Amino acid sequence: MIQLAIEPPLYFQWNPQPPQWQLRGIMTGRRTARVCNVPFVIGRALDCQLVLPDSAQLRKTTSRWHCYIQEKGGRYWIADGSFDVIPETGVKKPSVSGTLRNGSLVKEPQELAPGDTISLGPWNFKVEVEEAKNFRVDIDDALRVTQAGKRATIKAKDLASGAGYKQLHELFLELNKLENIEECLARALAFAAEKIPAAEVSAILLNRRGEAPSARLAWRKNQGRVVDLKFSPSLLEKLSVKEPFFLSARLSNPSSGQNLQNITSALLTPLSGGGSRLGVLYMDNRGDKTAFTEEDLYLASALSGVISLQLMAERQLFLGRLEDNLRQYFSSNVARRLAAEARAGKPPQLEAAEKTAAILFVDIQGFTNFCHAHKPREISGLLNPYFKLMSECIHRHGGYVDKFIGDGVMGVFQQAEAGQSPGDACAPALQAVRSARNIIQAWRANSTSGWGRPMPLRIGIDAGRVVIGNIGFPGRLEYTAIGDAVNIAARLQKLAPPDGIALSAAGRGLVEKEFRCEQLGVRELKGFGDIEVWLVSD
């Protein structure tokens, strides 16, 4: 693993939500920034992994997405420009002033080595190997942090409290052998039952947004997993933000639920990660058999840290897979935004709202006759690579696939919103036309029909205000776009000639500075009357 170093008075500051480094002139930051979450993008944009300062003067020398670092087989490479396509242009873009490695301009990706210097704008970063640190846990310090300054004291000569920590090493060795996080969490609870005599019942209770805490996993001494754990909600109320733990050798004034479950002693410690409370490690004793002690609190606090790490690893694995899956349906910019919202614990902003967008419809001319003449396997052999190619071309130019309709594909190119990269009103239409031309060229070059000349495509495009978001009812929701621009684009597609791109007059006005258009004439569109239709010239 490598890291970037900077000389004072500049420092790096870590921002956990979203996870990224920021270059700041503060004395409380760090001298080094670990290169993580590759591609590690450096620039002024707020979605970079290393965010640089932004000002009118700095914009002359540094770009929003200035350069990026990639990792391949344990080796790191630096490349100039944006990693993803720029939303308003639909293509990758080099930086405004270039990126230098050891004083030489980076024109093609170059391998990085310890000691190299990366220069961009007014800044120089030194490449270093991240130092391997010996893993050492000071339980007193860990507990001091967990308890926010409140400490339970024990006698220094009492060696019993330290005995449990030595056995944590055994737990770590076992966890390393397990293949999934569910087994790791179960082993951690079993460890609590083995090492803490009073832990008759132990459970991982997780916080749910807008819901009461629920058991992620529960364990009972000498019995194993518990499917339907009955725990005491009133005990959770005692573990507030102000009270970092709850320890009671004997419950006073037990509630009706505690009496019902015969709970006599309890120990609760927080589970934390990502700057927030994840839940609680809950343990209780039933039947007045034994009681929790202060020594148990130390081991429970350390065990909470182990469980918190497992939960955070599970969360990061899920979010990584979520972003990968989102990229199959949305452009990289939309996927990154939705994933960032999920990491921050926010519900994805998918509610229906009015937005400016360009809509693209494409289908295969003569596909119905093709279906009559071929077998289902031959049809799928044409459609699967066709859909893949269409999706790649749409995503490449900043759009996303809304839906497949038979052999038709609907693409959406949405205008940048507040807080995202700025773009003018023409950007979505330009992106759509660039994508359409790319689609036709790629289909001609890569058609896999296998039946003579590649089957021609027809494309229709319109732009305007549409409603985008979840449409339907709770039992069946679909994230889609609806509005006049959608319907007009679908009808224009049917009017387009083979391998042609048809536009409305409004669409032509948005792209005429970049593309030459020819008038097809006035045509009647069902539901819209007579409209002027234009074709994008080759």
Query: For 405-415, how does the pLDDT look when each residue is reduced to its tens digit (9 = 90+)?
Result: 999 999 999 88
Q: How far is CA 317 from the centre of its chain?
A: 10
Question: 81-107: per-residue pLDDT in tens?
Answer: 999 888 778 889 999 999 999 999 999
Six token digits for residue 417: 């919103």
Q: Mean pLDDT check: name the lowest of 73-77, 208-212, 343-347.
A: 343-347
Q: Among the ranges 152-161, 167-176, 462-471, which has the highest mean pLDDT value?
A: 462-471
Is the pLDDT at 242 greater than 60, yes or no? no
Is the pLDDT at 356 greater than 80, yes or no? yes
How many of the other CB atoms lie within 10 Å of CB of 5? 15
Domain with CATH 3.30.450.40 in the chain: 139-317
**What's the rounded mean pLDDT across residues 1-11?**
87
Predicted pLDDT at 152:
41
For tokens 């859909």, name the residue: 387
**What's the rounded mean pLDDT across residues 363-391?**
89
Q: Mean pLDDT check: name the lowest of 334-343, 426-435, 441-450.
A: 334-343
CA distance 416 to 423: 6
The CATH code for residues 350-536 is 3.30.70.1230
For residue 133, what pLDDT band results from cuts at 50, 70 and 90? very low
CA distance 361 to 376: 24
Question: 295-334: per-residue pLDDT in tens?
Answer: 888 888 888 888 888 888 877 777 776 666 666 656 555 6
* CATH architecture, range 139-317: 2-Layer Sandwich (3.30)
Domain with CATH 2.60.200.20 in the chain: 2-129
Q: Which CATH number fits domain 2-129: 2.40.30.20, 2.60.200.20, 3.20.20.140, 3.40.50.720?
A: 2.60.200.20
**What's the rounded mean pLDDT across residues 244-266?**
76
pLDDT over 90, % of the chain: 30
CA distance 198 to 201: 9
Question: Closest Cα to residue 346, out of 17, 47, 45?
Answer: 17
Question: Closest Cα to residue 400, out of 454, 357, 459?
Answer: 357
Predicted pLDDT at 169:
66
Domain with CATH 3.30.70.1230 in the chain: 350-536
Is 181:187 a contact under the CB 8 Å cutoff?
no
Question: 413-425: per-residue pLDDT in tens?
Answer: 988 764 444 446 6
Is the pLDDT at 281 greater than 70, yes or no? yes
Predicted pLDDT at 120:
94
Tell me what the pLDDT averaged over the chain comes to.
Answer: 81
Contacts of 362 (CB under 8 A, 6+ apart): 390, 408, 409, 411, 436, 439, 457, 458, 459, 460, 493
* pTM of the predicted structure, to 2 decimals: 0.46
CA distance 237 to 231: 12
Helix axes 168-177, 181-195, angle to 10 degrees: 160
Predicted pLDDT at 331:
54
Six token digits for residue 495: 């009017």
CA distance 398 to 223: 55
Is the pLDDT at 14 greater than 60, yes or no? yes
pLDDT over 70, % of the chain: 78
Helical segments of 239-375, H only: 256-261, 294-326, 332-343, 367-373
